[in-house]
């Protein structure tokens, strides 16, 4: 139970579906009972505890701001409902403790408490062991940062009305698996600006930064088209990155498949300028508080996509389009 609540807290702020909601979706796919049998009684909507006025001691944030934040985070799921239970002062000036209850309209998910602290700036919360954006429009600042700083190779539209930025590591198995869903996004959202940003986690993937350096040079010398040919080849032969010699062979082979000269790309990859470009992409990820790969930013909204069904990712992108008033 503690493990499920911890996962729920994390995905709640990041606007992904929790395990109980996945289970509810599966239950809805069960075939209906035969016609001659009486229909099963529909489960009741969740019953939340009645809020106590004594638990609203902080002047901010308001219930309206909390609701706007939750609507932005969870509104993609039409079955999810919530109630603000408390907005409490703490011993720290300006730091408020917020408690809400979350359930779903079908009544199949038991209401669960969710707690977070709103920082004095009113723009961030602490939930679990991390800090997340908060407010009526929680993704605006990250969106602006990405529009300026996400300069990696891209597919789709040159305009950034709908910008999807993938932060990935070439040696990360989950990043390899996520590429099929990224290809689907390219097809389903032709008006989107879909960017690849290097985020090598060198501490756990020793060859990832070398691969990122090659990728920067491929994009610089061959453009976005050559980059995505290179990326497909590297992810397709990811096991080759397990050793230094294998890394060199895998990357040179991928460069050749992209139609470029491995000697020139290798020389470019070894320059301080290329290293600085990779580090700038890593810093962008860190500034956005991205702590796992692959992560997709949808107009500033952080969506960890490792192992997430494509339909869920698409649903979130469609909802963010609606929030931002983007015509499909």
Binning pLDDT at 50, 70 and 90, where does residue 110 land?
confident
Q: What is the mean pLDDT of residues 138-156?
A: 97
Res 46: pLDDT = 83
Q: What is the mean pLDDT of residues 168-188?
A: 97
Res 42: pLDDT = 52
28 pLDDT exceeds 50? Answer: no
* Residues 6 or more apart in contact with residue 60 via CB below 8 angstroms: 96, 118, 122
40 pLDDT exceeds 80? Answer: no
Res 41: pLDDT = 52
* Mean pLDDT over the full length of the chain: 88
Q: pLDDT digit string (tens) for 261-270?
A: 999 999 999 9
21 pLDDT exceeds 70? Answer: no
Q: What is the mean pLDDT of residues 13-30?
A: 32
What is the value of pTM for the model shown?
Answer: 0.85
10 pLDDT exceeds 60? Answer: no
Res 4: pLDDT = 35
Q: Where are the domains of the chain?
A: 2-31+39-136, 141-323
Q: Return the CATH superfamily for domain 141-323.
A: Glutaredoxin (3.40.30.10)
Res 318: pLDDT = 97
Q: pLDDT digit string (tens) for 188-204?
A: 999 999 999 999 999 99
Res 47: pLDDT = 86
Q: What is the mean pLDDT of residues 257-285?
A: 98
* Residues 6 or more apart in contact with residue 111 via CB below 8 angstroms: 46, 47, 48, 101, 102, 103
Q: What is the dihedral of CA 250, 256, 260, 263, to 10 degrees?
A: 60
* Residues 6 or more apart in contact with residue 165 via CB below 8 angstroms: 146, 150, 152, 194, 195, 197, 296, 297
Q: pLDDT digit string (tens) for 55-98?
A: 999 999 999 999 999 999 999 999 999 999 999 999 999 999 99
């Amino acid at each position: 139970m503690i493990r499920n609540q911890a996962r729920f807290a994390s995905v709640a702020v990041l606007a992904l579906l929790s395990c109980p909601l996945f289970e509810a979706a599966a239950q809805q796919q069960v075939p209906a009972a035969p016609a001659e049998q009486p229909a099963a009684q529909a489960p009741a909507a969740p019953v939340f505890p009645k809020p106590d006025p004594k638990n609203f001691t902080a002047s901010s944030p308001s219930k309206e701001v909390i609701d706007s934040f939750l609507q932005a985070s969870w509104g993609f799921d039409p079955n999810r409902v919530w109630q603000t239970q408390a907005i409490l002062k703490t011993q720290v000036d300006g730091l408020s403790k917020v408690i809400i209850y979350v359930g779903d309209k079908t009544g199949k998910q038991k209401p669960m408490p969710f707690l977070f602290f709103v920082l004095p700036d009113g723009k961030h919360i602490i939930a679990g062991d991390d800090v997340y954006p908060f407010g009526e429009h929680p993704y605006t600042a990250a969106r602006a940062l990405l529009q300026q700083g996400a300069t990696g190779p891209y597919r789709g539209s040159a305009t950034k009305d709908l910008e999807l930025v993938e932060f990935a590591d070439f040696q990360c198995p989950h990043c390899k698996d996520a590429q099929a869903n990224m290809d689907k996004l390219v097809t389903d959202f032709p008006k989107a600006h879909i960017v690849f940003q290097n985020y090598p986690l060198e501490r756990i993937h020793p060859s990832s930064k070398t691969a990122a350096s090659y990728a920067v040079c491929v994009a610089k010398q061959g453009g976005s088209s050559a980059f995505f040919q290179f990326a497909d080849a590297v992810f397709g032969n990811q096991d080759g990155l397990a050793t230094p010699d294998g890394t060199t062979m895998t990357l040179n082979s991928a460069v050749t498949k992209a139609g470029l000269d491995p000697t020139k790309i290798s020389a470019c990859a070894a320059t301080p300028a290329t290293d600085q470009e990779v580090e700038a992409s890593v810093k962008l990820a860190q500034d956005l508080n991205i702590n796992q790969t692959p992560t997709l930013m949808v107009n500033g909204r952080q969506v960890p996509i490792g192992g997430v069904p494509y339909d869920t990712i698409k649903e979130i992108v469609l909802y963010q389009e609606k929030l931002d008033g983007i015509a499909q």
